Structure 1
Amino acid sequence: MTAYIKNNRGFTLIELMVAMAIAGIVMAAIVATYQNQMRTHLTQQSIVDMHQNARAAMHLMKSEIQMAGYDPTASADATVLTATASDFRFQIDADEDGAIAGGNEDIRYALSGTNLGRETGGAGGLQPVAENIDALQFIYFDENLSRFTPTAGNQSELDRVRMVQVTLVARSDDPVMAFKQVNDETYTNQFGETVLAAPNDTSRRALLSTNIWCRNMGM
């Protein structure tokens, strides 16, 4: 008859400590990988949001600025009222009644802090239409597409505006500050002129610039 010896010894303390150490290393690697993936996802999402925010702001401005001076009855005298590098105000006879009276017939764009602001009716102040906008610049061109700066209060010069170049710089609202390089980029317009000096921070930014033809001015 064969005798069998049963081994009930189990694990030693050293073996348990080694197993726990290996498990801890594996868990630490898993957590670090998860955190990195989460940071990447949040960063990418903030960049997508920044670009969508900037494009939406530019689309709104373009759709309204190109209608500046719209005056189908030729009796509303719709025109440009303010044209500076940081502030643009214009009129549109949107309801075609021969008068500039409705709130959306007198429109102004300018920065309000770090928000793109829009004012209507010449009152009420700038209302935010896009957040985290670090720079906004307007450049004006006449009927010969020559760049010029209208003199404030000179209506004959304001009436000469035919095209507006709009440049804006949007900033990402990124809650994740890890693994970022310092942003030392200088943002310029289509003429190579500085719109926003190097911010030297860790925020990502996007620059958009477009030329908007004011197709109703001068008609």
Structure 2
Amino acid sequence: YDLYDAYGDNDTDIGRRVGAKKRAAAENIDNLEFYYTLKGATKTLTPANPNDIRSVQITILARAGHEDPRFSNSKNYTTPSGGQWGPYNDGFRRRLLSTTVKCRNMGLYDRHE
């Protein structure tokens, strides 16, 4: 998955490649973060060894489809990794959403090493 403008409307969308084409999965997404917890509880944005991943915290910053002329958004959004998104200084309302996905069965072989 990555962020791109799927429809040429200057709105960022989340999508993935299906064959030779990219397909939008969600519209009006300003940012996306994958924050990994590794074996030993180390956290990183860029895991060197996928076999060490124990969970992934996925965070998206979603934006309303239309600007509200009576609203001013000057907020900074802090991601779980400590990254800062914003301020956008526009009339769009946004929501920061985050969830953790535990990677089931990862590390089963660690007990025998």
Matched residue type, 1:217: M
TM-score norm. by structure 1 comes to 0.42
Query: Paired residue for 1:133, among 9, 25, 29?
Result: 29
Distance 2:66 2:3 in 1: 21
Q: Which residue of 2 is the match for residue 142 of structure 1?
A: 38
Alignment partner of 1:188 is 2:97:
no
Match of 1:182, SS state, is coil
Question: Structure 1 residues 116, 218: closer, same or farther in 2, change over 3 A?
Answer: same
What's the counterpart of residue 167 of structure 1?
59
Contact 2:59 2:96 in 1 (8 A): yes
Aligned AA (1:124): A
Q: Is the 8 A contact 1:140 1:165 kept in 2?
A: yes
Q: Quick one: distance in 1 between partners of 2:52 and 2:25?
A: 28
CA RMSD of aligned residues (A): 1.9
Q: How does 1:60-139 map to 2 (within 5 A)?
A: 109-113=1-5, 114-120=12-18, 123-139=19-35
How far, CA to CA, are the matches of 1:163 and 1:124 in structure 2? 30
Contact map agreement 1:110 1:126 (CA 8 A) in 2: no
Give the drift of 1:191: 4.2
CA distance in 2 between partners of 1:119 and 1:161 (Å): 23
Q: 1:173 is paired with a residue of what secondary structure?
A: coil
- Whether contact under 8 Å (2:35, 2:80) holds in the other structure is no
Q: TM-score, normalised by structure 2?
A: 0.76
Matches of 2:21 and 2:55, distance apart in 1: 25
Unaligned runs of 5+ in 1: 1-108, 152-156
Query: Quick check: 1:112–1:126 contact (8 Å CA) kept in 2?
Result: no
**AA partner of residue 79 (structure 2):** N
Q: Distance in 2 between matches of 1:171 and 1:139?
A: 21
Within the candidate set 179, 193, 200, 2:89 is matched to: 200
Q: Distance in 2 between matches of 1:132 and 1:215?
A: 31
> Alignment identity in percent?
38
Letter in 2 for 1:111: L
CA contact (8 A) 1:183 1:202 kept: yes
Question: Match of 1:216?
Answer: 105
* Structure 1 residues 127 and 183: CA distance shift in structure 2, 3 A: same
Name the one with the larger helix percent: 1
Amino acid in structure 2 at the alignment position of 1:207: L
Whichever structure has more strand as a proportion of its residues is 2
